[in-house]
Amino acid sequence: MPSYLYPHHSDLVTPDGTIQSISLLSDSEALSHVVIEGISPAFIGFQIDLARVQFNFKSVLAQLGLDAVAEEIHLEEKALRGEVRLKIRAIGPLAHQMLHHLLPGANIGKLFAADERRRVRNPDYLARMFGRSDREGRPLLSLGGMHGSEKLTIERIEGRIVAFLSLQQGRMEYAPTVEGFLPTLGRALKTQTPLRDLLRLHQVWHEELPRTVSNDKILLVRSLPLHIRTVYARVVQDQLPKGVFHTNANVLQPDTEASGDIYELFGSGTKEVYDIPLEFFTLEPHREHVFFADRDQLQECLEDPKMIFETFASAPDPQAHLASVFIVKGSQMLRLKAEDWIISDPTQQPFPGIDQRVRQGLMVERYIEQQPAYPFLKAIESGLITSQGVLFSRFFPSPLLKRMLLSYYVQANLMGLYFQTPSRSYGSFFSQEDRAMLIDLVTFGIPVYWADEFTGTILQYTQRPGKTSGMFVPPEKIEHFNKATFFGIYGSNLLEGNFEQELRFLLQGVLDMRSVTDHPLLGPHTPLALVTGGGPGAMEMGNRMARELDILSCANIVDFQGKSDRIINEQKQNPYVEAKMTYRLDHLVERQAEFYLDFPIFVMGGIGTDFEFALEELRHKVGARPYGPILLFGSPEYWQDKITSRYQCNLRSGTIKGSEWVSNSFFCIESATKGLQVYRDFFAGKLAIGPEHPSNERGFVVV
Percent of the chain at pLDDT exceeding 90:
69
Residue 433: Cβ within 10 Å count: 12
Quote the CA–CA distance of 591 and 572 in Å, as a whole number: 17
Give the helix ranges, DSSP H, for 249-320: 296-302, 305-313
- Distance, in Å, from the CA atom of 452 to the CA atom of 593, rounded to the nearest integer, reads 24
Contacts of 661 (CB under 8 A, 6+ apart): 690, 691, 692, 693, 694, 695
Burial 75-107 (b: 16+ CB within 10 A, else e): beeeebebbbebebbbbbebbbbbbebbeeebb
pLDDT of residue 7: 63
The set of residues, in sequence order, having a beta carbon less than 8 Å from that of 40 and lying 6+ positions away, is 3, 6, 9, 10, 11, 14, 80
Amino acid 382 reads S
Q: What pLDDT was estimated at residue 148?
A: 55
pLDDT at 571 over 60: no
**Tens digit of pLDDT for each residue in 442-467?**
999 999 999 999 999 999 999 998 88
State the amino acid at position 574 in one-letter form: N
Task: Output the CA torsion sign for 86, 173, 191, 253.
Answer: negative
Model confidence pLDDT, tens digit, residues 18-29: 999 999 999 999
Q: From residue 437, how far is each of 74, 396, 464 by CA, in Å?
A: 52, 10, 15
Q: How far apart are CA 663 and CA 318, in angstroms?
A: 56
In the predicted structure, residue 491 carries a pLDDT above the cut 60: yes
Q: What mean pLDDT comes out for the span 243-262?
A: 85
Rg (CA), the chain: 36
CA distance 232 to 56: 12
Give the range among 316-330, 482-496, 545-559 with minimum mean pLDDT: 482-496
As a whole number of angstroms, the distance between CA 61 and CA 55 comes to: 14
Q: What is the pLDDT of residue 102?
A: 95
User: What pLDDT score was predicted for residue 367?
Assistant: 92
- What does the pLDDT average to over 595-619? 88
Closest CA to 428 of 318, 569, 559, 555: 559
pLDDT digits (tens, 9 = 90+) for 646-660: 999 999 999 999 899
Other CB atoms closer than 10 Å to residue 368's CB: what's the count?
A: 18
Query: Chain centroid to CA 281: how far?
Result: 25
Per-residue pLDDT reduced to its tens digit, 53-73: 999 999 999 999 999 999 999
Q: Is 210 helix (H, G, I), strand (E, B) or coil?
A: coil
Rounded Cα distance, 699 and 667, in Å: 10
The predicted pLDDT at position 209 comes to 93
- In sequence order, which residues have a C-beta less than 8 Å from that of residue 586 and are 6 or more positions away? none
Strand order in the sheet with 17-24: 53-57, 107-113, 17-24, 29-37, 81-90, 66-76
Whether 111 shows a pLDDT value over 70: the answer reads yes
Average pLDDT over residues 107-128: 92
In three-state secondary structure terms, 315 is coil
Angle at which helices 672-683 and 500-513 cross, to 10°: 30
**Burial (CB count <10 Å: 0-12, 13-18, 19+), residue 549:** middle
| Mean pLDDT value across residues 227-252 | 93
Among the listed residues 69, 495, 421, the one whose alpha carbon sits nearest the alpha carbon of residue 266: 69
Residue 6 has pLDDT above 80, yes or no: no
Share of residues in the chain with pLDDT > 70 (%): 95
Binned at pLDDT 50, 70 and 90, residue 260 comes out as: low
CA-to-CA distance for 528 and 292, rounded, in angstroms?
34
**pTM for the whole structure:** 0.86
Phi, psi for 408 (deg, rounded to 5):
-55, -50
Comparing 129-133, 504-508, 578-582, 679-683, the range with the smallest average pLDDT is 129-133
Mean pLDDT of 256-271: 82
**496 pLDDT tier (thresholds 50, 70, 90):** low
- Give the pLDDT of residue 631: 96
Does residue 104 have a cis bond before it (omega within 30 degrees)? no
**What pairs with residue 279 in β-bridges?**
162, 234
Arithmetic mean of pLDDT, 175-180:
93
Region 545-564: what's the mean pLDDT?
85
DSSP class of 692: T
> Does the pLDDT of residue 152 top 80, yes or no?
no
- Whether 589 shows a pLDDT value over 50: the answer reads yes
Q: How do the residues of the chain divide into helix, strand and coil, expressed in percent and rounded to 5?
A: 30, 30, 40
Mean per-residue pLDDT of the chain: 90
Could you check whether the bond before residue 629 is cis, i.e. omega within 30 degrees of 0?
no
Is a pLDDT exceeding 80 seen at residue 531?
A: yes
Q: Give the residue among 326, 325, 373 at the shortest CA–CA distance from 346.
A: 373
Helices 538-548/500-513 angle, 10° precision: 40
Q: What is the mean pLDDT of residues 131-160?
A: 78
Residue 563, pLDDT above cutoff 50? no
Instruction: Taking the CA atoms of 60, 61, 63 and 67 in sequence, report the sign of the dihedral they define.
Output: negative
Please name which of 634, 626, 677 lies closest in space to residue 513, comparing C-alpha atoms: 677
Rounded-to-integer distance, Cα 439 and Cα 393, Å = 18
Q: With bands split at pLDDT 50, 70 and 90, how would you rate the model's confidence at 317?
A: very high
CB 161 within 8 A of CB 279: yes
Note whether 364 and 397 are within 8 A (CB): no
